[in-house]
Amino acid sequence: MKCSFCGADNQLDSKVCFNCGKPLVLVGEEVKNEVPNNNISKGKKKGKSSLLISLIIILFIILVVLVVLILNPSPKKVFTNSVDKLYSNFLSSVKGDYESEIMNFEISPKITGSGSTGLEELLGKFKFAMSGGVNVKDEDFSFNYKLTYDDKQMLNVDAQYNDNFYVMLNGLYDKPVLVKNASFNDFYEKENNNTDDVKVVLNAYKNAFSSALKSSYFMTGSENITYKKENVNARVSTLILNNENIKEMSKSINDYLSLDDDFIKSLAKLSNTSEDKIKDSLAKDANANLSSDINVSLYTKKITNEFIKIVIEYDDTKMEFQNKDENGSYLLTASSNGVSVGLSIKYSYAYDEKIELKDVTGAVNSTDVKDELSDSLNKVLDSEGYKAFDNDFKSLTGKSFMDMVNQNLNLNQNVNTSDSLNTTYY
């Protein structure tokens, strides 16, 4: 056997080379021994690769499930999340301790389905706005009220309290009018002391409502709608309320609230009643007697879950509340038999800002100028807003607004006279 190191020939049964002293190994044994070792090594590498692939697959599946749950929550989850968000928005808008509060809002009507496009357009041009605020610390307030038609002024009135109550008929009467026998508490009562109790009660109702909901009460779907001038494929999560559901929910809510001592104490304070009466009312079973189901549908965007609107349907009546549109206005509508009457609402609020009071120098007592005030109100008919409205009214009906009013008054007077004659006759 030849040594693989030095090449010397050795006996076949030799274990060590006589020349260099290195161990002697048969070629067949070397190959035989090395092959299994290579297979073991490859098997280990293959096992590690399979484990890594399995882990990647599992992680991918978990990720897909999470994405599905996030992007496609159950209708019950959509409802409870919306209720939580609504409550959070309420908490952020309420300040328990403040010196002044500023409020601004604007309302305009929206009517469709009346059968008269001209009437719908005419009514849609009216707008009522209020702006101003209350200083609780100094016990004064100042508010401005405006009525416009097609953005033209019809009425502009200021109401103010600082030691006394004043009214200013801007453009109609040139002096502030003092109204006696009025106090600050007649108009405004600060409820800061109740703020904590209100929060406790609302939070308890929120939690009780969420705990009472069952997945079986819901159905889900989608609908293409227009929101902020965009076509949106909205998720529609509908809570179906029937006699059985309402009874179950009422019992669950009452049971939940009856165990909440803080809720009972706060509600007793707010309602000015005893805690025992609150407990007795919670112990009573609620009975529902609906002629048909009430469907409460929540419309949200599918990916962001942004609230779009809520729709309540019962029999042939539908009520909707839509979130802010592209103009920052909320829309509240009620419809029945194809006719829809709604209000477009803008509002804002702020706390602890300065309130500007009007100069009331030269104010006159309201009891001394009754006739003058009555005559001044007739000047509304000369305003730009009223003139624009009257022109549109004539175009629509063929008569002025006052002619129509007088005609109806005369008609009612004739009817009353006829009834009186008939009564005398019999």
One domain, residues 58 and 100 = no
Q: State residue 99's pLDDT score.
A: 84
Domain finish residue from 45, 71, 97:
71
Predicted pLDDT at 193? 57
Rounded-to-integer distance, Cα 276 and Cα 285, Å: 16
Q: Which domain holds residue 154?
A: 75-242+290-351
> What's the confidence (pLDDT) of residue 70?
47
The dihedral built from the CA positions of residue 292, 296, 297 and 303, taken in this order, carries a sign that is: negative
Low-confidence ranges of the chain (pLDDT < 50): 28-42, 44, 62, 64-70, 192, 417-426
Q: Which residue has the tokens 């305009």?
A: 108
Residue 226: inside a domain: yes
Which tokens go with 230? Answer: 């965009």
Predicted confidence at residue 204, as pLDDT, reads 93
The reply to whether 200 and 111 lie within a common domain is: yes
Residue in this structure with the two tokens 């592209």, named with its chain if needed:
326
CA distance 134 to 188: 8
- In this prediction the pTM is 0.71
Whether 404 is in a domain gets the answer no
Same domain, 18 and 60: yes
pLDDT of residue 72: 55
Q: Which helix (H) or strand (E) holds 215?
A: none
With respect to residue 9, please indicate whether it lies within any of the assigned structural domains. yes
Of 237, 249, 347, 356, nearest to 298 by C-alpha is 237
pLDDT at 190: 56
The pLDDT of residue 35: 42
Q: List b or e across 81-102, with b for residues whose CB sees 16 or more CB atoms inside 10 angstroms.
A: bbbeeebeeeeeeeeeebebbb
Q: Is residue 394 part of a domain?
A: no
In a domain, 276, yes or no: no
pLDDT (0 to 100) of residue 256 = 93
90 and 222 both lie in a single domain: yes
- Co-location of 130 and 228 in the same domain: yes
Does residue 284 belong to any structural domain of this protein?
no
Same domain? For 60 and 22 the reply is yes
In a domain, 362, yes or no: no
- Cα(346)–Cα(327) distance, integer angstroms: 9
